[in-house]
Each structure stands twice: as structure tokens, then as C-alpha cells.
Amino acid sequence: MGELFLRKVISVGILKRIVCTLLQMDSDGSHIPCEYLVESFLELITTIGYTLEQMPHGPDMLNDYMGHLTNLKKNGNYSLRIVYKIQDLIDLRAKNWVKKVFKERATSVADIHLEAKQEELKGGSIHLNQEGKFTTAGRQARRHYSDYLMNQRQLALSKMVNGVYVAQDKSPDEPAPEPSTAPETSVSCDPVSPVLESSSSSEFPKSALKSDPNKKHPGGVRFADKEPRSPADDVMDVFKHDPPHDRFTVEWNQLQMSHSDCLEALSKMIDKCLNAVSVSKAEIRGDLIAYTIGRLLPSSRCKIEAFSIFETTCLVRLQDEVLDNPGAVSLFARILYKVLDYFYKQPDISLERINLPPEFDLARDLAVRVLDSMKDSEDSLHYARGLLVSSFACFEDHDLSFLDA
């Protein structure tokens, strides 16, 4: 059901009726839906949550649903499994529908060798079961067959004659097919079909179904063309070779990317950095990411949004990354201090705070590494310390003396 909604087969109105049925929201409140209905609803929202959140009035709908779920969690007398699944969905929305999945995917031999090297670098088999990737639940993904479906839809529309689908193209000499059995009123009441109205028989006139003999029609099944490349893909073709900064600058400027393309490219660069096969490659790519955020992005707004992507993707999820890669703290601190050093030299960029990991020990370790790296520049050190002091306000119950060291 969720996949049908993502492909726009069912509308928001139908979705609302389905939800009301599953959660008994159209009742007077005395009915408590059974567990399998609640579980079906949870699977549905997990599938479409991100897409629904982006639609007009989608957040309001989700607020109503989450409030109803909270009441059911308290008063529904469900098993712990259902209670936990309800809480998981509430937490998933709070995390902007981003979750870590542990799902096997088909891989090539080269990918298997690459994963084996990455596993060895991350500590061997002890971390095997901790591997995972972050994904956004409920996002309307572009499928590899999307262009094919669109082409087939256009092909079907091109074969509509007076509202009737003609399965085969007819030559001028072939007799026209008879329409399927239908009431006479369906023909006589059509205001835009004078040819059909004048016909005394139930057979369509040939002129209504003739195809242009000079017109070329695609025959058989057509497969979708290869998806067009985005500018972000062109950036990645260069980035994966770890080029020097000046060479990367030339390639970046030649693409003349839009604001959204720049942010998409940066997201892919961060993902490539996190999956580097060695520490040295990760550091090289991390330096290039910091350089891109601080120097290459076209505007202050774009730089701040790119830094926010780095915060959300890396800093806030540091705990998860450390499980897979113990060197994540050092890598993220390296990127952070370089970005702050770039930002300090640009007065038009105004940061109020940094989104740190919610775990105090990790946040402290990250901050100490950043401050140690910036000791050679007193001015930039003062700038970074001021931001970190504001950022650690949420840890006021802890010892923050390390910020003054």
C-alpha cells in the first residue's frame, strides 16, 4: 500500500480513509484497533513517512497520527512488541526519518573484496554485525525503470482514440476493430465525437482509427534509457581519485552547479569519505570536504547549509560511526577544525553553535581535539572556543573546564 502511494497510484484522500480504518479514528474514541491493524499502520507510515512529511499538510496529518498512536500506546493494552514498534516509529520521525539498516544487498566480486578490506581496517570480524548504512525511511525513490513507465504511459495515451484504447496500430487498409460491448448512450452522449454520433452502426468508422502511414510508431517493449547524470555524479568522478585542491577547484568551477546540486555533491562526498578503504584516504577526502565547504561553495547560505549536512551526517551520529570506525572522532575533528578555520576568515558567515553528539564523552573528546588542532592560531582558536562554549550549554551539569584549557 505504501509503495502505491509513493508511486502516486493512490491519493492522499484515499490514504486518509485507509488510516481512519486502521486506527479507528472515525469512531467515537471508544474503539481500540486490534494489534494487526496497528502494526499494518506502522508499516505503512514507515514506508511513506518521509514523503508524506514533505507534502502540503503532511506534517499536520502526521501530528494527528502520532498523537493518536501515543494514546493507543498508553491505553491500548497491547503487547510489548507493538508498544516498542509504536515508539520506534515516533523516534524515527523525531530523527527526520533517518535510520540505520542492516540489509544484505547483491554485490559484485569487486565490492566483496572492497568490503573485506574495509572490515579488516575496522577491526575484523568483531565489527561484522555492526555494519550498516543510514537510509531515509519513506522517501520516494527514483527507480531504474521510472523512465520506462513514463514512456509506456505516453505510448498508451498516444493510442487513445475518442476515449478508447487501441491496442494495435492499424494500417489504412485494415478494418477497424469493433468496440467492446457498451450501452448506446455511451456513444450518443459524447459531445466531442460527431463522427460517432453520425454512425448508424455499432462499428467505428475507419477514419476514426486510421493511423498516419508516414508516422513511425515504436514497436514492442522499449526499455528505459540510462538515467541522466547529475552534476554531482561528475563531481564524484573527480573526487574519488583524491585530486589536489587546485585541480579539484578547476573541475568544480567548470560545472557551475546550482545551490541544490552543490549540496547533493557534498552529501555524496561525505558518504564516500565515510567509506574510505584506509585512514589516509579518509583524511585526504575529509580535507577536500572541508575545503569545499569553506572555499568552493558559492554563497554564505550554501556554506552554512553544507555545514549543517556535515553536522547531521557526521557529528550528531558520531556514536554510530565510532562503532564501525574507531577513528571517526579524529576524522570528524579534523574536518571540523578546518571548516571553522575557513569560516573565521569570512565575517559574513554567522554560526551560533555547533550540533554536537548527544553523548557528553564523545562531544568532549571531539572538542578537545579541535581546540588542540587550532592552538597555532590564537584568533581562530578564540573563535572556535566561543562556538564550543555555546554548543556545550546543554551539558551544563558536566565539568566544562576543558574548554578553558
* Residues 238 and 193 placed together within one structural domain of the fold: no
pLDDT > 90 in the chain, percent? 38
pLDDT attached to residue 109: 74
- Asked whether residue 296 is domain-assigned, the answer is yes
Q: Is residue 329 part of a domain?
A: yes
296 shares its domain with 368? yes
Same domain, 191 and 254: no
**Residue 191 has what pLDDT?**
45
236 plus 201 within the same structural domain? no
Pick from 161-170, 226-235, 275-284 the range whose average pLDDT is largest: 275-284
The model's pLDDT over 82-103, given as tens digits with 9 standing for 90+, comes to: 888 999 999 999 988 887 655 4
Count other Cβ atoms within 10 Å, centred on residue 189: 10
Closest among 368, 270, 350 to 310, alpha carbons compared? 270
One domain for residues 205 and 348: no
Q: Are residues 257 and 390 in the same domain?
A: yes
* Residues 151 and 273 reside in one and the same domain: no
Q: Do 254 and 354 have their domain in common?
A: yes
- Phi, psi at residue 228, to the nearest 5°? -65, 145
Quick check: 185 pLDDT over 60?
Answer: no
Reported pTM: 0.47
Tell whether 224 is covered by a domain. Answer: no
pLDDT per residue as tens digits for the range 249-281: 999 999 999 999 999 999 999 999 998 888 999
Contact 49, 92 (CB under 8 A): yes
The closest of 358, 361, 339, 355 to 388, measured between CA atoms, is 355
Residues 203 and 244 in one domain: no
What does the block give as the cell for 323? 562503532
Main-chain phi, psi angles of 358, to 5 degrees: -70, -15
pLDDT band for 379, please (50, 70, 90 cuts): confident
Asked whether residue 357 is assigned to any structural domain, the reply reads yes
**In the chain, % of residues over pLDDT 70:** 72
135 domain-assigned: no
pLDDT of residue 195: 40
pLDDT value at position 99? 74
Residue 211 pLDDT grade (very low, low, confident, very high; cuts 50, 70, 90): very low
Q: Which of 113-127, 183-197, 285-299, 373-387 has the highest mean pLDDT?
A: 285-299
Together in a domain, 239 and 344: yes
325 or 333, greater pLDDT:
333
> Which has the minimum average pLDDT: 31-40, 104-113, 310-319?
104-113
Q: Is the pLDDT of residue 222 over 70?
A: no
Task: Return the higher-pLDDT residue of 3 and 360.
Answer: 360
Say yes or no to pLDDT of 174 above 90: no
pLDDT band at 359 (very low <50, low <70, confident <90, very high): very high
More confident position, 190 or 18: 18
Does residue 181 lie within any of the structural domains?
yes
pLDDT at 98: 84
Q: Does the structure show a pLDDT above 90 at 175? A: no
CA–CA gap between residue 158 and residue 375 (Å, rounded): 69
Residue 326 one-letter amino acid = P
Please give the grid coordinates belonging to residue 328.
Answer: 571517526
- In this structure, what C-alpha cell is assigned to residue 299? 554563497
Residues 296 and 379 in one domain: yes
Under 8 Å between Cβ of 342 and 294 = yes
DSSP 84-134: HHHHHHHHHHHTTTEEEE-------HHHHHHHHHHHHHTTGGGGGGG--EE
Number of folded domains in the chain? 3
Read off the CATH number of the domain in which 64 is found. Answer: 1.25.40.180
CATH label of the domain that carries residue 340: 1.25.40
| Residue numbers of the domain that contains 151 | 146-209
Question: Is there a domain that residue 277 lies in?
Answer: yes
Confidence tier at 371 by pLDDT (50, 70, 90) = very high
The reply to whether 312 and 388 lie within a common domain is yes
**What are 138-160's pLDDT values in tens digits?**
555 555 566 776 777 677 777 77
106 in a domain, yes or no?
no
**pLDDT higher at 6 or 107:** 6
The overall average pLDDT reported for the chain is: 79
> From the CB of residue 124, how many other CB atoms can be counted at a distance below 10 Å?
9
The pLDDT, as a whole number, for residue 4 is 86
